[in-house]
Amino acid sequence: MLSVPIYAFSIVPMTLRGGLYLDESRTGTVLFARRRPIRDGLVVGLVTAAAFALWVAGILLFDTMLVLLLGMLAYAALLIGAVIALVQPGGTTLSASGPETPKGERWMVAALAQLPGTRMTAVMLARRLIEQAPPGSILVAAAATDALHERYVRAGFTAGRARRVYRLVPPRTQRNPAM
């Protein structure tokens, strides 16, 4: 629960770049976007700076002690969430790619989610997005559980360390016009 703020920071940049997809039934979502760690880090920095500026403005405009306490509680929640995310049992990684991931244009598949009572909507949406991935790109993901890691491997991904997986999208073959 407390790792939710850290999780939100990790998906905000991809969402702002248009990487959050909703299926036709509006019950499943998937994050699918090119991995751009430097640009995403800058976005997180800007969002954090804006939140800090709002917090300081709140302290100056309203009851200083109340806003100060609320800000400290938010900071504590972020800090505790970061610690929990870093020391999760089972060695789940915070990064979807590692040294075992091939070099190239990386696209991240993440945050498959669906409404309760629905079945497979996020998985089917992810499958469609994976089929439309740019030729020659590398799809990366980090599985939260061993069972999910096994599902990725069965779906054609290559297992990496710390529950990371990757999949090479074959380059387009060019037809010979003479044939």
pTM of the model: 0.72
pLDDT tens for residues 88-115?
544 445 577 788 999 999 999 988 888 9
Strand residues in 40-146 grouped as ranges (E): 106-114, 138-142
93 alpha-carbon distance from chain centroid = 12
* pLDDT-wise least confident of 3-12, 62-71, 163-172: 3-12
Residue 120 binned pLDDT confidence (cut-offs 50, 70, 90): confident
Cα separation, 125 vs 129, whole angstroms: 6
**Domains (ranges, CATH) in the chain?**
20-36+93-168 (3.40.630.30)
Question: Where do we find the tokens 């040294």?
Answer: 99
Report the mean per-residue pLDDT for the chain: 82
Cα separation, 55 vs 68, whole angstroms: 8
End-to-end CA distance of the chain: 59
- Residue type for 135, please? P
Q: Does residue 23 register a pLDDT over 80?
A: yes
Of the candidates 41, 37, 40, 44, the one whose C-alpha atom is nearest the C-alpha of residue 17 is 40
Strands 138-142 and 28-34: unpaired
Burial 73-84 (b: 16+ CB within 10 A, else e): eeeebbeebbee
* pLDDT-wise least confident of 4-13, 81-90, 94-103: 81-90
Cα separation, 13 vs 16, whole angstroms: 5
Higher pLDDT, 4 or 51: 51
